[in-house]
Structure 1
Amino acid sequence: MNSSVSAIASSGLRAAQMRMDVSANNVANASTPGFRPQSVQEEAVPGQGGVAARVKPATGAPAPAQGGEAAAAPSGTSLEGEAVDQLSASYAFTANLQVLRTNDRMMGALLDVRA
């Protein structure tokens, strides 16, 4: 069970890191002409547990603002949306890290009992 818990939490860490990387890239290139934002698609891995993540082009067009101008950056990147995505990725990373720490403590306690 230990290895499966570690593998599941590790896959969550990798997915959260990928989400943060993609969001940071979107923000850094928000004003770059021709840049198209990306997003991360996550899927459960049946039979193994954990999550598989892959980068894909973001969907949706920038919402028009007053005066007909786009509310987002020229690339269609919503900085507000990226801020939310970064917070969400940060919380997901922290939660998965806590699972790993708890698993390590449980294994340590089990070894202490068996010793």
Structure 2
Amino acid sequence: MTISALQAGLSGLQANQRALDVEGHNVANLATQNFQPQQASFQQTPGGTSVTISTAARDLSAAANAGGVPSGTDPASSITNSLVYKANFDLSAKVIQAADERIGTLLDIKA
């Protein structure tokens, strides 16, 4: 059970890191003309969580006119998503820490 908690925590770390990378890429290209932002989609797998990266289909001209941004990136959404992904990353790290402590306790009992 502890090993599966480690695997779930690790997959959560990796998935949220990829999602943070996507948002960073989107924000970095905020001023890039006709840039199509990517979107992270999370899926549950038997071993934990995975992320699929896709290009978001958006009306670039509407986004440019509405926010004055030449790309289809919505800065407010990117910031909000980044905060959520960071919180999820931190929670996954706590799962790993708890599992690590439990393994240490189990090893102490056996010794």
Answer whether TM exceeds 0.5 for this pair: yes
1:73 corresponding residue in structure 2? 69
Percent of aligned pairs sharing the same letter: 32
1:54 corresponding residue in structure 2? 52
1:114 corresponding residue in structure 2? 110
The TM-score, its normalising length taken from structure 2, stands at 0.89
Q: Is the 8 A contact 1:22 1:38 kept in 2?
A: yes
> When you count helix as a share of all residues, which structure comes out higher?
2
Structure 1 residues 20-60: Cα deviation after superposition (integer angstroms, max 9, x where no partner): 10000000001101210001111111xx2311211101244
Q: Is the 8 A contact 1:72 1:78 kept in 2?
A: no
Structure 1 runs of 4+ off > 3 angstroms? 59-65
Q: CA RMSD in A?
A: 2.0
Q: Is the 8 A contact 1:38 1:55 kept in 2?
A: yes
2:5 corresponding residue in structure 1? 5
1:99 corresponding residue in structure 2? 95
User: What secondary structure is seen at the aligned counterpart in 1 of 2:20?
Assistant: helix
Q: 1:89 to 1:29 in 2, by over 3 A?
A: same
Q: Is the 8 A contact 2:20 2:85 kept in 1?
A: yes
Q: 1:52 to 1:88 in 2, by over 3 A?
A: same
- TM-superposed CA distance for 1:111, in Å, is 1.1
